[in-house]
Structure 1
Amino acid sequence: MLTVTQDFEYERMLAGDLYVARDILPEHKSIHGKMIAQQINQVPIENTAEIVRLERTLFGKAGKNLYVNPPINVDYGCHITIGDNFYANMDCIFLDVNRVTIGNNVMVGPRVGFYTAGHPIVADIRIEDLEFGSPIVVEDNVWIGGSAVILPGVTIGKNAIVGAGAVVTKDVPANSIVGGNPAKVIRMINDQDRQKWEQAKQKYWTAKNQEK
């Protein structure tokens, strides 16, 4: 993880204020995380232990049972905090110019993008290379489907499901299923869902025990 020293642009970036990326000091440039991600992507896929070791050096903090299936792409990497039991499938993108905080028991499909980066709406300000970043929070037990995009400033509530291909522009309520572009609540997860999947689980264990 990078050590923070006095750096006007870098500190503004993490505060969510406008900043100019090219003027960030060398010790805080995003190249450091990109180089680790490149290493991860070059490790033979069967060498799981080495992939996980490098991923733990890439992320700012990670809990137990971490695995991100390469290839992985990051901006910094060190601005990402991950809880226990995290799995992400291949080709995920973390544009972490601001913080990405992920809770416990989160599952992420392939080609999901976490985009904390943003640019001013007004063109003549945007072309001055001024940009900003807003944090993303993913709470416990969330499942994000493949090719979903999580935009700056979004919080995804506990137990929620984000459908494949969704573009999430605003906060997702806990215990909800969202989908579409822009993502909207399809429905809430309910007792019927629990009964259905409890029955399916029991059928699985019954069949498995019969095989012994």
Structure 2
Amino acid sequence: MIDASVAVSIGKRCLIGDSVVIQDSNYHEVEDGAGVKAKAVLIGDNVWIGRNSIILPGVEIGDHSVIGAGSVVTKSAPPRSLVAGNPARIIRELVAPQDYIRF
């Protein structure tokens, strides 16, 4: 599911698993007076997002990164990162030349 109230940008050659949720807004206040958080989500080129992952508002995922299945991504990830968990964290850096295409 991709739900965009501001913007969701998905780069070239990305793989997105089933039951993934990408949202650029939380659509409601968490606390009185806190306001609604809405900020664009930017997904780079050649990114793989594993099944059942959730990408939250304002997250940027760098080129050639992999998001492990079931991850809840609350913070941005630099290029060539393996990210996993709830909340997601960087596990390690990936080796991927600029012309690498994930199949």
TM-score w.r.t. length of structure 2 = 0.85
The alpha carbon displacement at 1:98 in A equals 1.2
Q: How does 1:20-169 map to 2 (within 5 A)?
A: 93-118=1-26, 119-123=28-32, 125=33, 131-169=36-74
Q: Match for 2:92: what amino acid?
A: R
Cα distance in 1 between the residues matched to 2:77 and 2:60: 6
Q: Against the structure 1 CA distance between its residues 165 and 140, is the aligned structure 2 distance closer, same or farther, given a 3 Å change threshold? A: same
What RMSD over aligned residues (CA atoms) do the two structures have, in Å? 1.8
Match of 1:10 in 2: none
- Give a deviation string over 1:150-197, Cα, whole Å, max 9, x none: 000000000000000000000011101010011011111137xx8xxx
Q: Match for 1:167: what amino acid?
A: V
More helix by percentage: 1
Cα distance in 1 between the residues matched to 2:86 and 2:37: 23
Cα distance in 2 between the residues matched to 1:132 and 1:176: 25
Cα distance in 2 between the residues matched to 1:111 and 1:137: 19
- Give a deviation string over 1:30-89, Cα, whole Å, max 9, x none: xxxxxxxxxxxxxxxxxxxxxxxxxxxxxxxxxxxxxxxxxxxxxxxxxxxxxxxxxxxx
Contact (CA 8 Å) 2:37, 2:57: kept in 1 or not?
no
Q: Match for 2:22: what amino acid?
A: F
Size of the alignment, in residue pairs?
Answer: 96
Cα distance in 1 between the residues matched to 2:51 and 2:30: 28
Cα distance in 1 between the residues matched to 2:7 and 2:13: 19
Structure 2, gaps ≥5 residues long: 98-103
1:174 and 2:84 aligned = no
The alpha carbon displacement at 1:138 in A equals 0.3
Q: Match for 2:2: what amino acid?
A: F
Cα distance in 2 between the residues matched to 1:136 and 1:163: 18
Cα distance in 2 between the residues matched to 1:132 and 1:139: 22
Contact (CA 8 Å) 2:47, 2:63: kept in 1 or not?
yes
TM-score w.r.t. length of structure 1 = 0.43
More strand by percentage: 2
Q: Which has the higher contact order (CA 8 A, sep 6+)?
A: 2
Question: How high is the sequence identity, in percent, across the aligned residues?
Answer: 36
The alpha carbon displacement at 1:120 in A equals 2.9
